[in-house]
């Protein structure tokens, strides 16, 4: 009789451990799925927008002839951006082309355009990176003017310039 009770007790305990084990497995699987979905929702949208930005968005460089060539070479040498989507504006006749671009790279000095002209002509959803040497923007009116527009970034270093272009491509509409 004692042996049968012990055997039955072990069977019940074994069944209970098996049920608890399966419950833990189900809990771990559900947790893994929820974690993956949360991660995917958080990371896939920025990656998707970055991919679309790199493949479709146009970058227009506004600078003097020498600076525009140098900046375009910098952008092309990174092998991040599509060459066919990189344009330049050096003459005043092409100022209306500013409205057709998604991201503008404006060289603060040496351009035939003023910062005010570029900001007023750009499309409201376009972003602009103002590239200037450290301390070059001394005019408080220009700082206030840039603050009135969204998606404006000021950059002093060429390495930072590529990062600003990438970031603005993700944050602007397509």
Compute the average pLDDT of residues 125-130.
Answer: 93
Rounded mean pLDDT, 73-96: 88
Are 9 and 75 in a shared domain? no
Tell me what the mean pLDDT of segment 141-151 comes to: 92
Separation CA 161–CA 55 (nearest Å): 19
Contact 83, 44 (CB under 8 A): no
10 lies in the same domain as 20: yes
Q: Count up the domains in the chain and report the number.
A: 2
Task: Average the pLDDT over 26-32 and give the result.
Answer: 96
Q: Is the pLDDT of residue 92 over 60?
A: yes
33 and 8 within one domain = yes
Residues 47 and 83 in one domain: no
pLDDT at 27: 96
Query: Are 69 and 143 in a shared domain?
Result: yes
Residues 31 and 76 in one domain: no
Q: At residue 107, what are phi and psi to the nearest 5 degrees?
A: -85, 115
Neighbouring residues of 171: CB distance < 8 A, sequence distance ≥ 6: 127, 151
Whether 90 and 66 map to the same domain: the answer is: yes
Kindly state whether residues 73 and 51 are assigned to the same domain: no
Residue environment code for 103-133, b if the CB has 16+ CB neighbours within 10 A, otherwise e = bbbbbbeebebebebbbebbeeebbbbbbbe
- pLDDT of 5 > 70? The answer is no
Rounded average pLDDT over 43-67: 83
Instruction: Specify the pLDDT at position 112.
Output: 86
Q: 85 with 49, same domain? A: no
In this prediction, residue 23 has a pLDDT band, given cuts at 50, 70 and 90, of: very high
The pLDDT of 56-85, averaged and rounded, is: 90
Mean pLDDT value of segment 66-82: 90
Mean pLDDT value across residues 35-54: 81
Least confident of 26-30, 61-65, 109-113, 142-146: 109-113
Residue 118 has pLDDT above 90, yes or no: yes
Compute the average pLDDT of residues 51-55. 73
Domain assignment of residue 128, given as a range:
57-171
Maximum mean pLDDT: which of 7-11, 25-29, 112-116, 122-126: 25-29
CATH of the domain at 75: 3.40.50.2300
Residues 74 and 128 in one domain: yes
Residues 128 and 167 occupy one common structural domain: yes
Do 62 and 46 belong to one domain?
Answer: no
Q: Which tops the pLDDT comparison, 60 or 51?
A: 60
């Amino acid at each position: 009789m004692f042996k049968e009770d012990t055997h039955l007790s072990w069977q019940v305990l074994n069944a209970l451990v098996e049920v608890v084990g399966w419950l833990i497995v189900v809990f771990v699987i559900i947790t893994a799925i929820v974690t993956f979905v949360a991660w995917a929702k958080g990371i896939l949208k920025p990656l998707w927008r970055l991919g679309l930005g790199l493949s479709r968005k146009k970058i227009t460089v506004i600078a003097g002839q020498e600076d525009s060539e140098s900046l375009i070479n910098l952008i092309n040498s990174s092998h991040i951006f599509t060459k066919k989507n990189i344009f330049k504006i050096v003459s005043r006749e092409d100022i209306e082309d500013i409205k057709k671009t998604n991201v503008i790279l404006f060289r603060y000095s040496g351009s035939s355009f003023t910062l005010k002209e570029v900001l007023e002509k750009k499309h409201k959803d376009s972003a602009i990176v103002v590239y200037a040497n450290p301390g070059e923007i001394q005019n408080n009116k220009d700082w206030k003017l840039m603050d009135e527009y969204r998606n404006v970034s000021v950059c002093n270093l060429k390495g930072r310039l590529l990062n600003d272009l990438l970031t603005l491509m993700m944050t602007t509409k397509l």
